[in-house]
Amino acid sequence: MSTIPIETSVVSGVVISTSGNETKILLMKRAKEGFWCHVAGKIESNEAAWQALVRELKEETGLMAEELYTAEYLEQFYESKKNVITLIPVFVVKVSSDKKITLNEEHSEFRWCSLQEAKSLAPFPNQKKLYDHVWQYFVEEEPSELMKAGGELTHISTGAQ
């Protein structure tokens, strides 16, 4: 009997920012593949998932996480080329609206989007569902304190010792 391997070495994060009463989602266009996405990347050795997300956020956008939450959501999909099911824990990152974005070479452009625009740019059905989930539980509702991640967030993101 053959099985499909499950891959769990990637994390992702949806960055949101509110200015006045308007909230936006940060999307970036992948330079190589050409599709719009949120922050994602591999977990390196000895990293907790939330630490990997904080690092990836800094590498991909130049941003520091101001507030970090577990989204209580797993991205999941089947990669036919690898014959692998991928499960990705998702985080929500809140940042100030005045922060400068500095993309790395993985992305060619970025856009702050309304929920509708983010969903129209997202190529995958599960991305659209994720953005709806984030909007409901992190924009329309106040997230539970129990969902906060990264107890040492300031220590990790600033590099302070």
Q: Which of 58-62, 79-83, 146-150 has the lowest mean pLDDT?
A: 146-150
Tens of pLDDT, residue by residue over 83-111, are 999 999 999 999 998 889 999 999 999 99
Q: Is 13 left (phi over 0), alpha (psi -120 to 50) or beta?
A: beta
Among left, alpha and beta (phi > 0; psi -120 to 50; other), residue 15 is beta
> Mean pLDDT over residues 113-134, rounded?
97
pTM of the model: 0.89
What is the structure's pLDDT at 92? Answer: 98
Q: Is the pLDDT of residue 130 over 60?
A: yes
Q: Are 40 and 56 in contact (CB under 8 A)?
A: yes
Q: Inform me whether the pLDDT recorded for 155 exceeds 50.
A: no
Q: Which helix (H) or strand (E) holds 160?
A: none
Residue 33 is encoded by which pair of tokens? 């593949």
Containing 61, the helix (H) or strand (E) segment is: helix 49-61
Within 10 A of 31 (CB to CB), how many other CB atoms are there?
Answer: 13
Q: Residue type for 97, please? A: S
Q: What pLDDT, in 10s, does the model give residues 2-50?
A: 899 999 999 999 999 998 889 999 999 999 999 999 999 999 999 999 9
- Per CATH, the architecture of 6-145 is what? Alpha-Beta Complex (3.90)
Virtual torsion, Cα 97, 98, 102, 103, nearest 10 deg: 20
